Amino acid sequence: MEKLKNTKLLGIVGAIVTLIGIFLPFATVSANILGYKASESVSFIEGDGIIVLILTIITLLILFADMLSAKVAFFEKLAKAKLVLIPTVISIIVLIYDMATVKDAIDGLGSLGGLVKVSYGIGTWVMWLGLIATAAFPFLYKKEQ
Domain membership flag for residue 134: yes
CA distance 79 to 11: 13
Domain membership flag for residue 60: yes
* Range among 6-10, 28-32, 92-96, 109-113 rated most confident: 92-96
CA distance 16 to 12: 6
What percentage of the chain exceeds 70 in pLDDT? 79
Domain membership flag for residue 95: yes
Domain membership flag for residue 20: yes
Can you give the CATH number for the domain in which 77 is found? Answer: 1.20.140
User: Total structural domains in the chain?
Assistant: 1
Domain membership flag for residue 44: yes
pLDDT of residue 55: 93
Domain membership flag for residue 145: no
Amino acid at 84: V
Domain membership flag for residue 71: yes
Residues 6+ apart with CB under 8 A from 81: 8, 11, 137, 138, 141, 144
The domain of 92 spans: 2-140
| Tens of pLDDT, residues 3-62 | 556 678 888 999 999 999 999 988 877 777 777 777 777 777 777 889 999 999 999 988
